[in-house]
Amino acid sequence: MAKRKKSEWYDWIKALLIAFALAFIVRTFFFAPIVVDGPSMLPTLHDRDQMIVNKINYRFNEPNRFDIVVFHASEKKDFIKRVIGLPGEHVAVKDNLLYIDGEEVDEPFLEEQNDDGTLNVIPTNDFRLENLPGEHETIPDGHVLVLGDNRGNSTDSRLLGVIPIDSIVGKTSLIYWPINRMQMIGK
């Protein structure tokens, strides 16, 4: 009887260790939770939204325009922003319009619907890529330009310069908490 109880405890401990090891592997290499900190991605993401970061997507693919990504802004701080410019492109904003290589690009995620049903566009101060830190004429290979959706209150490429792709932790598109905001965020 004592030997049977010992075997049962051993089986439970072994199962728990395997479960913890699998959870560690999944969190480290595949998916991780993140909490949105601050208003820089309003109206798309709200402060304290909890999301899942897909860490494996960019091991096989390059970021796409308008992906929402998490990246290492410093050793201690990760930021969540939207990819706007890709390697080899020139980016500018003039009169609230985004231009990629001189062509106007629509940003529907910057439109908020007012209570009366009209659209309100979130303003973006004019800038050109060459006026940002690094003074690049085009975005260098292995880098992207990121902006927060709340352009008036966002620390992004306008202050940080272009972001190395290898500093991107992953792509995020699922809000899982709070429950009333649970949704997939698309382009």
Known catalytic residues?
40, 81
pLDDT at 16: 77
Contact between 120 and 183 (Cβ < 8 Å): no
pLDDT in tens, 74-128: 888 999 999 999 999 999 999 888 999 999 999 888 776 555 554 466 778 889 9
DSSP state for residue 161 in the 8-state scheme:
-
pLDDT in tens, 13-69: 877 777 777 766 666 667 788 889 999 998 889 999 999 998 888 888 899 999 999
Place of tokens 């010992």: 6
Label residue 161 left, alpha or beta by phi (over 0 means left) and psi (-120 to 50 means alpha). left
Q: Which domains does the chain have, with CATH numbers?
A: 31-179 (2.10.109.10)
Residue 57 sits at the vertex; the CA angle it makes with 30 and 33, to the nearest 5 degrees, is 45
